[in-house]
Structure 1
Amino acid sequence: MAKQLTPSASPVRAKSSVPNKDAPLKEDIRLLGRLLGDVLRDQEGDAVFDVVETIRQTAVRFRRESDQQAGAELDKLLKKLTRDQTNSVVRAFSYFSHLANIAEDQHHNRRRRADLLAGSAAQPGSVAYALTKLDDAGVSGATVRHFLKDALISPVLTAHPTEVQRKSILDAEREIARLLAERDQPHTQKELRDNTELLRGRIATLWQTRMLRYTKLTVADEIENALSYHRITFLRELPALYDDIESEIAIQFPTRARQTGSVAPLSPFVQMGSWIGGDRDGNPNVNAGTMQHALQRQSTTILDFYLDEVHALGAELSVSTLMVSVNPELEALAADSPDLSDHRSDEPYRRVLIGIYARLAATARDLGATNILRNEVGPAAHYVTAAEFTQELQIIEDSLIANHGGALVKPRLSTLKRASQIFGFHLASLDMRQSSDVHERVLTELFSRSNVEPNYNKLSEDKKIALLLTELRNPRPLFSQYVDYSDETTSELSILRMAREIRQRYGSRAIRNYIISHTETVSDLLEVMMLQQETGLLRAQLDDDGSKVKAVTNSELELMVIPLFETIPDLRAAAEIMQQWMALPPVARLIVEQGRLQEVMLGYSDSNKDGGFLTSNWELYKAEIELVRVFNTAGVKLRLFHGRGGTVGRGGGPSYEAILAQPPGTVNGQIRLTEQGEIIASKFSNPEIGRRNLETLVAATLEASLMPNTAIGKEAKKLSEFEQLMDGLSERAYQAYRNLVYETPGFTDYFFEATPIAEIAELNIGSRPASRKSTRRIEDLRAIPWGFSWGQCRLLLPGWYGFGSALSEWLIESDTKTKAQKISLLRTMYKEWPFFATLLSNMDMVLSKTDLAVASRYAALVTDRKLRNSIFKRIAQEHELTSNLLSSITGTKERLANNPLLGRSIKNRFAYLDPLNHLQVELIKRHRSVTAAGKTTEERVKRGIHLSINGIAAGLRNTG
């Protein structure tokens, strides 16, 4: 995301900062580059170092001067490289991308701290800024506290085919970040020399550590990778964020109640989610076993954290009853402790914590842990729920506060108690996801084998709904243990049965949601209700006389049925489907049991692949408005789950701006959003950066939900004009995009040859296939590798194509407005409409990373010269048109003129990013020439391609 590339994306900060604020960043990059060069010389020799420098300088010349001679020199240089040299050069440029990211993150932290020390005004994206804004708008502190009581903000980690990070690399880079941060502290010359040598050593460790996996990544690997971010960031930073928010509320809205401590602490409104191990849409490697493994590993991770913290807390709370009294409840807990040592007879807190440790250890074993580092003193009963653990921590806190020990709560106990409320024994809620066509096949078989309906899949939609509603009133199962079923049906039912077991074992928050990909009809939703009834997750209850159904759910066991609307047609049908769904009597009762709340997921990736950047964004916006209308009419609260990717073409971009650009009424304190691909590492591999990214979600949700919407009301007519224009532009952009991608003969061949999509699909990047089906059709390709491939070749086409054609057609149309008036209208939209401003801001960032000169080298990989020239020419023309019209609207030809720090950051990366692209092209040529001859490519060549993919992804930062 853009915010991770620079110290700040805020023009406010840029104005208030000192002129030389980037000097420390440049110094850090030079230092890390020099140390990497030292390691390169030491490990590979001067010759390789000289080659790296020559390639870098030639690539810079090629970019700056569009020098054809430089291009020819590059080709000659790259062709002369041996396989070993090639990989060393690729690794050098890739690691420099990673090191530059570390330096920029550290500088971001440095600037944040400098602002705080200077007492600068709160910056947009911070909770302090949001609360000040709300206070100025007349929103009370009581309103904010009440709002947060019922809110839910949930980042959901997902694994995808573009995931390229290894935990070993992340660990080494985190240590480099720590050492770099140390250099900002006062130090002696010896300490500085020692620090430099430690940095050199860590970079050498990086160089000698395998960057890539050479075996296929498994779901279990992806689970472990996600857990590393919990250990690095979420376990400590999320509880700490709650403390920060409570402090900011107390400062902005001081009350007597807060000063006396009688205001209830914040409820756990920020909770982590995950798809890893439960998302089986298009991933045959996810099953009941992976779900069970995911929760077992998640539970072990959080319980290990609790055990370590309780052990440390026991060492700290050496409070003696010879000095102070304790509450009776604490004395009772101490009496139940397995610790009978006379040495601690006057230390009840330690005895209590030894007892808590024993109960946690018993709980961990009960939930599948096999390796507890420290054995407990004696046996104890396990906790049935995490709430019991929280309650015992509360008893400790109450006793300390009541007996002059309030100062002892803050250091560790309050954070541990908060963590227990946020993470429970499950750590993160695991979502289930499957495609609607799978559910239909399973129910078709169940209905047929039970002699209810021989051809369910051939019924009309009305007949499907009627049958499903009838069966939902019938408590008898369709499944029989005496009948043999297909592997697919057996697997799907076993997964749902496992979900029920997991909820009973780890708590109801462990799995709460069932997401249906490709939702196109109401029956798609009812089918999942039916399957839940088959597996005990949804239970029918009879009236007393047994003659009719009284209710259809057991709310403690049910999973919320969540539609995912992905394609353009699906988005257009979303509101009507939800209106029909919520009007069904059994569904209405279910929604009441859910607290009159229903979640809907919107797919940014497939809608973009289906309709292009402009149309995708606009159809999502319109779908949200229509959903709000339908839900308001039904009296149901809407929670939107945004399936955003990392790249702008898949809904990426700064989260703060994206949330504020949502239509009015679509947030309301309820929001979930996916965090995908390299964005997870970019946002959360540094704890301080991770905490600010979490804070940004809270701040944006507060503003989007609670700020009075007076401006829109006063200018409804102007907004209507904006929306009407967007409708027309969207239709034109849709036609331009569809014409290129789906209607141009040979475009699929162009895409597969001019991008590294084939190499991405065959290498060990992610556990999931790159395509849902074994075809080369764009329709069947997963949206993630689609967008990722365009990023690798530096065209980033899904983030801008169609915009230029749409606007140019409208500008030359004959109507009541002149071209100048139309441009003026677009400029007004840009200044006054957050949706349009965010749209253009994201496109501006994408275009700043696009490079037609580099992309032309990928186009040269297309063997059909006529096809290559015709399609690349169209893309280049659209790029020029889009860039020029964007400049006309924003008033500047320079990309990222409103965010110069980000602009400089991106430009600074080209020196090591461009060579990676040139090297990747050369490696792809070698690979394809060998495979075309029916031979097997050497592993070193494959490894080089994979390394280049890693380095380019790291350099672009938002490609996942």
Structure 2
Amino acid sequence: MAAIASQQADRSPVERHSAVSEMPDELRADVRMLGELLGRVIAEDGGPDLLADVERLRKAVIAARRREISVDEVASMVAEWPIDRCVQIARAFTCYFHLVNLAEEHFRIRILRSRDTGEATLPESLAQAVSALKHDLRPDELARLIAELEFRPVLTAHPTEARRRAVVTAIQRISVQLAEYNAPDRGAYEREEAHRRLLEEIDLLWRTAQLRHTKLDPLDEVRTAMSAFDETLFRTVPRIYRSLDTALAEGSGTREPQAKAFIRYGSWIGGDRDGNPNVTARVTREAVLIQAEHVLTALENAATRIGRTLTASSLYGTPSKELRDALAGAVDDHPELAAELGKRSPREPHRQWLLFVAARIAATRRRDLDLAYRSPDDLLRDLRLCQASLVATGAARQAYGEIQHLIWQVETFGFHLAELEVRQHSQVHAQALEEIRAGTPSERTEEVLATIRMIAWIQERFGVRACSRYVVSFTRSADDIAAVYELAEHALGPRTPVLDVVPLFESGEDLANSADVLSGMLRLPAVQKRLAANGRRLEVMLGYSDSAKELGPAAATLKLYDAQAELAAWALSNDVRLTLFHGRGGALGRGGGPANRAVLAQAPGSVAGRFKVTEQGEVIFARYGHPAIALRHIEQVTNAVLLASTPSVEARTGEAASRFRLLAERVASASEQAYRSLTEASGFPEWFGLVSPLEEIGSLRLGSRPARRGLGAPRSLDDLRAIPWVFAWAQTRVNLPGWYGLGSGLLAVAGEAGAGQEPGPGLEELRQAYREWPLFASLLDNAEMSLAKTDRQIAARYLALGGRQDFADQVLAEYDLTRKLVLAVTGHSRLLESRRVLSLAVQLRDPYVDALSHLQLRALSALRAEDTLSDEERERLETLLLLSVNGVAAGLQNTG
């Protein structure tokens, strides 16, 4: 695809002011080189004619973007190719997007590193937050906020990662070689060898099947998530703590740290059984064992590495009596091991001790009970023993350097890595109790009881921190919480495990009733017992995906805000330390968007130094695929959590929310009415299935979880899960879940100034809300991003497939209205005007996403129109469709 790369790189007069001409030189060079290499690979494998056809389509979609030809002409060209040729072209554009995404990631990493000069405080960093806090809070208030700080990212296996694991690893290998090629200290031979290896790896990416041939099982998903831990999380966490400690006071690394370990990872992977019959008690057990294997291996390697370098001699500092006594105890209990360590490290007591600690961690992993640690607390005790001894000898830098990093890692990950959370639907519990009381438990009910027994086993093996949270989907009353505690008694009698049952409120009605449900929970003896034991801590989960699918993006956002405000007030009046668990998806239609901005937009009092959120699907690898990006993401979120918890920010947010309350209600009401008028109309679910690749998305085998509740085509939105709902709309280039109804909501406030529906007298009030209320600004900015990824011309072609022009006209009219009013309120002359980098990325991708959309439309139209397709023809068309779905997902960098 050398021609594609050339188009990206060259600055012709026509393109001088285009997005292409604005591409930074370093990024342009990488895109050009990777595109040229891919072009060579395609020509070598498929011949020059294949590359020429790819180039024809590339030029055609660019010409259509410039209005030089019509999209109908592009469609006619695509229709002339045999399906097999279309498949090859779809592969080419998909591989190209993988490489462009990689080039952009490397450019982002270079930018992050270039900004970190140490000469100025980086915006949205921990240093910037602490500097602001020192001006806003008294020292004791700052110390209390730091002590209470919590960030809990929860990894989920929701099926939104469209790439095969083999494709992901191929891209990672290309990434390594690209870094080698661009390294400034490489000689000519090393650079040439990296270039050769790049070509080799790109060739392998081209030859790797993009589509999964077998469905993932839950343990595959667990193992996939472990790559983020192995490559990034374990090493990044201590860097975050060190950054905070440095910001808090001088001398970090030579004194006892002021920063505590505030990050706690959770996971639903292998624990979330709501609607996923593949997640069983056995799977949950295996999931936690896989996690333990990875974290214990990482801790063992870290302790061994640090121990081998800790060569401080007793000739220059006598170890503490406590350490000498501990070493003597090791000789008594494990004479052979202690003798070997003493022989290898004479007069190096701290080295001996840390290598002994490493041996004990290894024994813990092997289940050698004679030598193993019983708990992470025992390991921490031994590490702090070594640390204190080093301080006593005057070696403070050794005590508070790498050993402190290891302490932070143990405090963060324990022996279980991430708390495995269980989730199940409230109706499953209700039915299980009915069956138990009737004496006729079904296989599913037995599985519910087995799950609770498995939680008890995990707690016995790894401690309560490893698994105690039990999330109840569609919680409607306190009875749904009581059911879990009753089931635990049926499962284990008086030996029930420690359970923190978490209500999940998802629908608009449930969000409105959430505080009443919590009041009912406080009357449950089991909940009272837990509150007494845990310092009156209570967790509540808010579901962004299903609420947005039910109400539309604008009404859901505002209803969620109201629920947060009410729950925060309820917690204050009931002396409860409330943690809100935000069930956000990756896509804008499921609560996605910049996480730090979302935190700053929360209701006053709802953060209070604590933030818990789901990290789903492709978001896991986007945020945690590289240490530099992970570090920046965690810093930005933590910065926002700290700032959102201060009285001044809470006061400003609360005052703005109060002032624009009536405006918000009018926007929410009108937007919800517009949204429901479409989605609840007779025939809409069937129409949606025709205009989108909804049915075919299930064939991508994205995850172990079924795409819908129940069997057969969806009869209503309730039958459809939020992820395929968002994913399918993204494929149509409509992106409806991210903006639909907002235009009608804004119009209800702005008013009309004539037949053209121009904004009326309420526009200035909307502009004022956008400037002063973070929630409203976030809502419009996210909608603007979603609108920018929408293409009206191509969207219209998809919408026409359903045979309901009334629905198509309704969607496009709302798009036009929303786009016009969002620009009017934000004051922008074009979408994403104030977000140059994102605007550039979208504009660069648009033509090539168009190419894949035309290929997809070719397949989708044939599948929808022909009832007489042979099995072979249908299979080839479905292959093309799924390849294009995969490519569009890569191009938009977004699935569900």
Query: Same fold, TM exceeding 0.5?
Result: yes
* Mapping of residues 564-603 of structure 1, within 5 Å: 564-584=504-524, 587-603=527-543
Q: Does 1:786 align with 2:722?
A: no
Q: 1:434 aligns with which of 417, 424, 427?
A: 424
How far the C-alpha of 1:361 sits from its partner, in A, is 2.3
Contact 1:174/1:685, CA 8 A, preserved across alignment: no
Name the residue aligned to 1:544: none
SS at match of 2:220: helix
How far the C-alpha of 1:774 sits from its partner, in A, is 1.5
Name the residue aligned to 2:48: 46
Q: Does 1:935 align with 2:859?
A: no
Query: Could you give the per-residue CA deviations for residues 518-557 of structure 1, whole angstroms, max 9, x where no partner exists?
Result: 1112211111121223334976xxxxxxxxxxxxxx8xx4
SS at match of 1:821: coil
In 2, the alpha carbon distance for the partners of 1:427 and 1:636 equals 28
Q: Does 1:495 align with 2:451?
A: yes
Name the residue aligned to 2:255: 261
In 2, the alpha carbon distance for the partners of 1:954 and 1:404 equals 54
The structure-2 alpha-carbon separation of the partners of 1:829 and 1:430, relative to structure 1 and needing over 3 Å to count, comes to: same
In 1, the alpha carbon distance for the partners of 2:424 and 2:295 equals 27
Contact 2:160/2:702, CA 8 A, preserved across alignment: yes
Letter of the structure 1 residue corresponding to residue 423 of structure 2: R
Query: Could you give the per-residue CA deviations for residues 87-112 of structure 1, whole angstroms, max 9, x where no partner exists?
Result: 33222211221222222222222222
- Greater relative contact order (Cα 8 A, min sep 6): structure 1 or 2? 1
In 2, the alpha carbon distance for the partners of 1:250 and 1:923 equals 61
How far the C-alpha of 1:164 sits from its partner, in A, is 2.1
Contact 2:151/2:263, CA 8 A, preserved across alignment: yes
State which drifts further: 489-498 or 56-65: 56-65
In 1, the alpha carbon distance for the partners of 2:83 and 2:858 equals 12
How far the C-alpha of 1:721 sits from its partner, in A, is 4.0
Q: Does 1:870 align with 2:806?
A: yes
Name the residue aligned to 1:681: 621
Q: 1:724 aligns with which of 651, 656, 662?
A: 662
In 1, the alpha carbon distance for the partners of 2:861 and 2:623 equals 34
Name the residue aligned to 1:733: 671
In 2, the alpha carbon distance for the partners of 1:81 and 1:415 equals 59
How far the C-alpha of 1:763 sits from its partner, in A, is 3.0
Name the residue aligned to 2:858: 922
Name the residue aligned to 2:302: 309
Q: 1:769 aligns with which of 706, 709, 713?
A: 706
Q: Does 1:154 align with 2:152?
A: yes
Name the residue aligned to 1:110: 110
Contact 1:519/1:563, CA 8 A, preserved across alignment: yes
The structure-2 alpha-carbon separation of the partners of 1:859 and 1:495, relative to structure 1 and needing over 3 Å to count, comes to: same
Name the residue aligned to 1:76: 77
Contact 1:646/1:675, CA 8 A, preserved across alignment: yes
How far the C-alpha of 1:313 sits from its partner, in A, is 2.7
How far the C-alpha of 1:388 sits from its partner, in A, is 1.1
How far the C-alpha of 1:323 sits from its partner, in A, is 5.1
The structure-2 alpha-carbon separation of the partners of 1:322 and 1:782, relative to structure 1 and needing over 3 Å to count, comes to: same
Query: Could you give the per-residue CA deviations for residues 224-268 of structure 1, whole angstroms, max 9, x where no partner exists?
Result: 1111111111111112211111112225xx8xxx79724x54332
In 1, the alpha carbon distance for the partners of 2:442 and 2:537 equals 36
Name the residue aligned to 1:29: 31
The structure-2 alpha-carbon separation of the partners of 1:538 and 1:238, relative to structure 1 and needing over 3 Å to count, comes to: farther
The structure-2 alpha-carbon separation of the partners of 1:343 and 1:189, relative to structure 1 and needing over 3 Å to count, comes to: closer
Q: 1:691 aligns with which of 609, 617, 631?
A: 631
* Mapping of residues 268-279 of structure 1, within 5 Å: 268-279=261-272
SS at match of 1:672: strand
Contact 1:385/1:507, CA 8 A, preserved across alignment: yes
Q: Does 1:801 align with 2:740?
A: yes
State which drifts further: 408-417 or 663-672: 408-417
The structure-2 alpha-carbon separation of the partners of 1:494 and 1:134, relative to structure 1 and needing over 3 Å to count, comes to: same
Q: 1:665 aligns with which of 605, 619, 632?
A: 605
How far the C-alpha of 1:740 sits from its partner, in A, is 0.2
Name the residue aligned to 1:551: none
Name the residue aligned to 1:415: 405
In 1, the alpha carbon distance for the partners of 2:886 and 2:648 equals 45
How far the C-alpha of 1:812 sits from its partner, in A, is 3.7
Query: Could you give the per-residue CA deviations for residues 799-820 of structure 1, whole angstroms, max 9, x where no partner exists?
Result: 1111112232444489xxx964
After TM superposition, the score normalised by the length of structure 2 is 0.91
SS at match of 1:248: helix
Q: 2:776 aligns with which of 831, 836, 842?
A: 836
In 1, the alpha carbon distance for the partners of 2:511 and 2:518 equals 11
In 2, the alpha carbon distance for the partners of 1:785 and 1:348 equals 59
Name the residue aligned to 1:749: 686
The structure-2 alpha-carbon separation of the partners of 1:113 and 1:259, relative to structure 1 and needing over 3 Å to count, comes to: closer
In 2, the alpha carbon distance for the partners of 1:234 and 1:405 equals 29
Letter of the structure 2 residue corresponding to residue 172 of structure 1: A
Contact 2:571/2:577, CA 8 A, preserved across alignment: yes
Name the residue aligned to 1:758: 695
The structure-2 alpha-carbon separation of the partners of 1:537 and 1:901, relative to structure 1 and needing over 3 Å to count, comes to: farther
Q: Does 1:514 align with 2:483?
A: no
Contact 1:66/1:853, CA 8 A, preserved across alignment: no
In 1, the alpha carbon distance for the partners of 2:307 and 2:572 equals 51
In 2, the alpha carbon distance for the partners of 1:414 and 1:26 equals 42
Query: Could you give the per-residue CA deviations for residues 679-737 of structure 1, whole angstroms, max 9, x where no partner exists?
Result: 11211112210111111121111011125247539x84x64341112112211111111
List gaps (5 residues or longer) in structure 1: 1-18, 368-378, 450-483, 540-553
Contact 1:334/1:349, CA 8 A, preserved across alignment: no
In 2, the alpha carbon distance for the partners of 1:349 and 1:208 equals 52
SS at match of 2:660: helix
List gaps (5 residues or longer) in structure 2: 1-20
Q: What fraction of aligned residue pairs are identical, expressed as a percent?
A: 35
The structure-2 alpha-carbon separation of the partners of 1:89 and 1:821, relative to structure 1 and needing over 3 Å to count, comes to: same
How far the C-alpha of 1:782 sits from its partner, in A, is 0.5
The structure-2 alpha-carbon separation of the partners of 1:211 and 1:837, relative to structure 1 and needing over 3 Å to count, comes to: same
Contact 2:750/2:761, CA 8 A, preserved across alignment: no
How far the C-alpha of 1:54 sits from its partner, in A, is 1.2
Give the RMSD, CA atoms, in angstroms: 2.5
SS at match of 1:447: helix
How far the C-alpha of 1:612 sits from its partner, in A, is 0.5
How far the C-alpha of 1:409 sits from its partner, in A, is 4.7
Q: 1:387 aligns with which of 377, 380, 385?
A: 377
Query: Could you give the per-residue CA deviations for residues 596-624 of structure 1, whole angstroms, max 9, x where no partner exists?
Result: 11111000000011110111101101111
How far the C-alpha of 1:512 sits from its partner, in A, is 2.2
